[in-house]
Structure 1
Amino acid sequence: MPDPLVIRPARAEDDEAIDSLIRAAFGGTEYGHQGEAELVRMLGADGDVMVSLVAEQGGDVVGHVLFSRMDVEADGAPLSAAGLAPVSVAPGLQGRGIGDALIRAGLVSLRGQGVAIGFVLGHESYYPRFGYAPELAARFVSPFAGPHLMAMMLDSGAIWPQGGRADYAPAFGRLG
């Protein structure tokens, strides 16, 4: 029987394991390495990390998710927002629900912080299972606008804003 999966907040001593995990997870995929490890470091250095969680199994970091602060205006007023990126799972463990568990735990944490809306730029067949919708994101002007940008109200009873602007943390714009 495999060791249980533990999801916990990332700590400073996890930085090297997270960096290695991200490089392994994105280095051998169809997406290729797109600077995700560098992005995580820059978001941390800028103080824009809102939630950073690891999945640990048998003492090893096997998954990581990060949500960062966004600058969002909805219907003329600022709205507390977080962007999901990246989510990483060790290549040999992908497809086993680790990423799903990390994202769900991160969304719970964001709700606990009173964050109103979340955005993700990702695969349109994966992220809607969490509540992300391209229809909501389409109401916002963003450099990342398009079919892969999705958003969700973290309070499921909240009314969708009519429109606004959504900007990811500055580190996203600094990626090469």
Structure 2
Amino acid sequence: MQTQLVKVKDLKNNSGQIEGLPKNPRILKDDKFIKLKKSLQDDPEMLQLREVIAYDNNGELVVICGNMRLRALKELGVKEVPTKILPKETSVDKLRAYTIKDNVAFGEHSWDDLANEWDAEKLEEWGLDLPGFDVNNETEHKDLSGDLKETFEVIISCNDETHQEQVYNKMIADGFNVRVLTL
């Protein structure tokens, strides 16, 4: 399969027009769609690295992978997009698989690495969801160091519940502040 430049107006979003292939199930909320458009404006060369994939359905080029990019490109007024056209003999089962697999992220992020080695605002700008972190949150941080006091603890592992009860009773009898934990 060769990549070729195809006029955006000649590409059709997958609306279910291929028999056996449901419409594209992918949606983007407004904020994500805005980020996608900005990404395409900032780094248009990414389209060469991850081109749109289409299927020739009786003369109509239906996008299998890249429906949201196509929508964004249309809104941005882009005239041509790098496209790979799947062979005519591509089965509907393969088209279905490509439709879903194109949007599945198999890997996971190392949140520690992201937090320590990457700029959170850039990550958000690039479209990465950062769970539990709001880069726009300008909340004042309260110094809690004065509220801390040193504690010294000993953890004793017991063989069973009976042993735990015996150790607990002995420690209480000896005047220690004891908490029982069962993990």
TM-score higher than 0.5: no
Task: From the two aligned structures, give the one with the greater helix fraction.
Answer: 2
TM-score normalized by structure 2? 0.31
Task: From the two aligned structures, give the one with the greater strand fraction.
Answer: 1
TM-score normalized by structure 1? 0.32
